[in-house]
Amino acid sequence: MSSSENPMAYLLEFGLRKVERERPELSSDGQYQALKDQLMRDADGHFQEIQATYATVLKTRCTCGGQLEPKDHEFGRAGDTIYDSVIAKCKACGSAQEFQFPKDGFISEARSAMALRDYLKQSYGIDYADIIMGELQARQHGA
């Protein structure tokens, strides 16, 4: 899946390209490349889980028979399981229903993101999360 179809992968690639422009030596760092590739694979897996969750919601009918439409998306935790919660509203009667699905992809993506962040911080003194946030804030204020 291309990053243009996956908003999270797009943001990750955007931020990492900025880091790579500032630190060209990363292009020859095999450990960095491996961690980055794993993160992008996990981001794609997580996004595919989200798409499957939304598809399930759209296939489900309200108790009144009306079409459900996803309205909100959040994560929760019950014990050791992280859930993706989707709140859907019925187009016909307006009632809300919540769907919860375990999310292995979210956990994998978070672990990969932290591994890459730790590696860049320890090896290069770079916090790519801060760089990405700074870029996003600059774009928001510049827009």
Longest dimension (CA), the chain: 60
Query: Please, which pLDDT band fits residue 1 given cuts at 50, 70 and 90?
Result: very low
CA dist 64 and 51 (Å) reads 25
Q: What is the mean pLDDT of the chain?
A: 85
Q: What is the pLDDT of residues 36-78, one digit of tens each?
A: 999 999 988 888 888 888 888 889 999 999 999 998 878 777 7
pLDDT at 61: 94
Domain range summary for the chain, segments of one domain joined by +? 7-142
Note the pTM of the prediction, 2 decimals. 0.74
Residues 67, 92: contact at Cβ < 8 Å? yes
- Please give the structure tokens belonging to residue 57: 């919601």
